[in-house]
Amino acid sequence: MSLHAKGVDLFLQSAGARYIDAARPAMFQMLGVFAEFERSMIRERVMAGLSRAKADGIQLGRRRLEATDADKVAAIMAARARGTGIRRIARELGVGVGTVLRVTGEEAAKHVAPAFRDAIVSEHSSFASQPQ
């Protein structure tokens, strides 16, 4: 459905003009082209900045829990040693399930329901047996 059919119209305050008839679609298309161009320019600048930071050896992203909160790491290990479940530990300590798995050194595949785990294993083994 077109913007015009939805009742959208274009009025440029600075020009004080309402675009009608043939000029309306042309203006919408030009604005769309400029918006797309501006977005691509922003993306190029961001990617250049990230590349420069990487070249300068700057570490991007959030620091891991292991480097910032030794008390929480100890609490995760203690709770897991008591037999507390992965999800419960994550919920009670306010961390992600993946963080708990990483801190405890457990693999995520161990915590998948057996039926799903067997299906995943058989699916991947069939790929491995196919000729390449």
Q: Please name the helix (run of DSSP H) or strand (run of DSSP E) that holds residue 86, with its range, or none.
A: helix 86-93
pLDDT of residue 112: 58
pLDDT of residue 120: 56
Mean of pLDDT values over 79-105: 91
Residue 48 pLDDT level (bands cut at 50, 70, 90): very high
Mean of pLDDT values over 111-128: 56
How many percent of the chain have pLDDT more than 90?
A: 36
On average, the pLDDT of the chain sits at: 79
* CA dist 93 → 81, 89, 101, 110 (Å): 15, 6, 13, 21
Mean of pLDDT values over 58-79: 88
Distance CA 96, CA 90 (A): 5
Mean of pLDDT values over 112-117: 59
- Residue-by-residue DSSP string for 31-56: HHHHHHHHHHHHHHHHHHHHHHHHHT
Distance CA 116, CA 35 (A): 45
